[in-house]
Amino acid sequence: MMKLRLNTSVEIKDTLQEVPAPLRVRIPIESKHKPVVKKKQILGRGQVIAENPTKGAYGIGFVHSSIDGIVEDIQPDAIIIGPIPAPKEGEEAVAAPRPEPCSELDSLGNEELCRKLLEMGVDTSRFHATRNLIINGLNPEPGVLVSEQLMKDAQEVLKAGLQILERAIKPGVVKLVVANGKQLSLHGCTTVYASDVYPATIDPLVVYAATGAERPDNVDVISVSALYRIGLVAMTKLPLMEAAVSVGEKVYRVPTGMTVQDLLDTTGTAYGTEWKLALNGPMRGVAVSDLGVGIAPTCTAVTLVQEGLYPPVQPNPCINCGECVLACPARIHPGMLSRYAEFNMFESTQSQHVGACFECGMCTFVCPANRPVMQYLLLAKKQLAAQDEAVSTCRLQD
């Protein structure tokens, strides 16, 4: 059985690449987002198209148009924006209303600044004031080059992101975790070296490498990609409208909502009908069944794997080999938990600490039976979260 190379560090050969804005985008929105546009509405680049209804400063960011265009459709999970129709004979072209740069970013601080960042598209849900901050500078998964590429080519943007975070949350100590042997640094950060062999690159293990403690309650961790997104908003004073996406051996600045199809075609990436694709990396990515899906600002990679190169996962029975237990960095029993989830015994997964799962995918990766072990655990966690939400929203009737 062939295995992926789990060392995530690579030699960066190219610079950060640009891709032209597409004529049509399909911008993803989440269930918590509330669309604030209507069909056939003319939009300017940077205009708000969906809001987070929360009145607080912390949560998922607002969503903005990445092109000048017209709203073609509003779907539960996306807003489709296409080219503005040409004016009729004798009529003037409609001017798309673009927002002005936000001058308030220079004067705000604390929660007011966090709220403004949220309104400009930044996910502030992981922000906490005065905690120590760890920046995960390791490439997130095998084949995903985005962290080291940004550390190499976007130092000024990262610096701007760190400076605005210092005003927004006033972190205590700020540490940057990079791969052993890499000469990478960021102004204002204490550099910590750690293993880059997956799954050591995921956030909980990076925190442990930086602090020596498991699950410390005074530490926040963000990725270099997240810091880059904050830095873009800080430098341009415009809403977040792009993602840094790894495709093959290159990393591209991609307009939010650009479809996977357009990205692959524009970058000249070879693929065929026999290929499997995923958004983000090969270990934790989400399979793509439609090349028309749009790139979210938090997307870090489009992963391509030729079909037949690796055995597909199937709902095969567990053979009790224990390989998943040996590979699990959270020290839980993925095989047993997957069987509980397989037979809808979700309460049993909770008592056996399914919540401690890091969702790294190592259990599925090492399983000789090719069971979708992590997917079963994700199912259990989703079902338990849905039950908790149902309980929290119910009340006794009069």
Q: Could you tell me the CA-to-CA distances from 93 to 85, 88, 96, 329 in Å, in that order?
A: 9, 8, 9, 58
Q: What is the pLDDT of residues 332-354, one digit of tens each?
A: 999 999 999 999 999 999 999 99
- For residue 5, what pLDDT is reported? 52
In 3D, which of 136, 177, 148 has the Cα closest to residue 8?
148
Residue 244's CB is within 10 A of a number of other CB atoms, namely 27
Q: Is 80 exceeded by the pLDDT of residue 32? A: yes
- For residue 91, what pLDDT is reported? 81
Q: Order the strands of the 69-75 sheet from edge to edge.
A: 25-28, 78-82, 69-75, 42-43
pTM of the shown model: 0.92
Residue 278 in contact with residue 288, Cβ under 8 Å? Answer: yes
Q: What is the pLDDT of residues 166-196, one digit of tens each?
A: 999 999 999 999 999 998 999 889 999 999 9
- For residue 203, what pLDDT is reported? 96
Instruction: List, in order of start, the domains of the chain with CATH numbers.
Output: 110-117+120-235 (3.40.50.11540), 323-389 (no CATH)
Q: Is 70 exceeded by the pLDDT of residue 1? A: no
- For residue 308, what pLDDT is reported? 79
CA distance 360 to 383: 19
- For residue 4, what pLDDT is reported? 47
Rounded to the nearest 10 degrees, how much is the dihedral formed by the CA atoms of 263, 268, 271, 276?
-30
User: 355: which DSSP letter?
Assistant: G
Report helix, strand or coil for 175. strand
- For residue 3, what pLDDT is reported? 43
Percent of the chain residues past pLDDT 70, beyond the cut: 96
Residue 134's CB is within 10 A of a number of other CB atoms, namely 26
Q: At what angle do helices 110-119 and 155-168 cross, to 10 degrees?
A: 130
Report, in angstroms and rounded to the nearest whole number, the Rg of the chain calculated over CA atoms.
22
> Two tokens at 34?
């509330």
Q: Is 80 exceeded by the pLDDT of residue 12? A: no
- For residue 391, what pLDDT is reported? 83
Residues in the chain: 398
As a whole number, the mean pLDDT across the chain is 93
Q: What is the pLDDT of residues 296-340, one digit of tens each?
A: 999 999 999 888 778 888 999 999 999 999 999 999 999 999 999
| Residue 358 CB contacts under 8 Å (≥ 6 apart), including other chains | 199, 202, 204, 205, 329, 330
Q: Is 60 exceeded by the pLDDT of residue 122? A: yes
| Residue 33 CB contacts under 8 Å (≥ 6 apart), including other chains | 50, 51, 52, 60, 62, 63
Among 70-74, 227-231, 344-348, 392-396, whose mean pLDDT is lowest?
A: 392-396
Task: Tell me the DSSP string of 288-310.
Answer: -S-TTPBPPTT--EEEEEETTSS
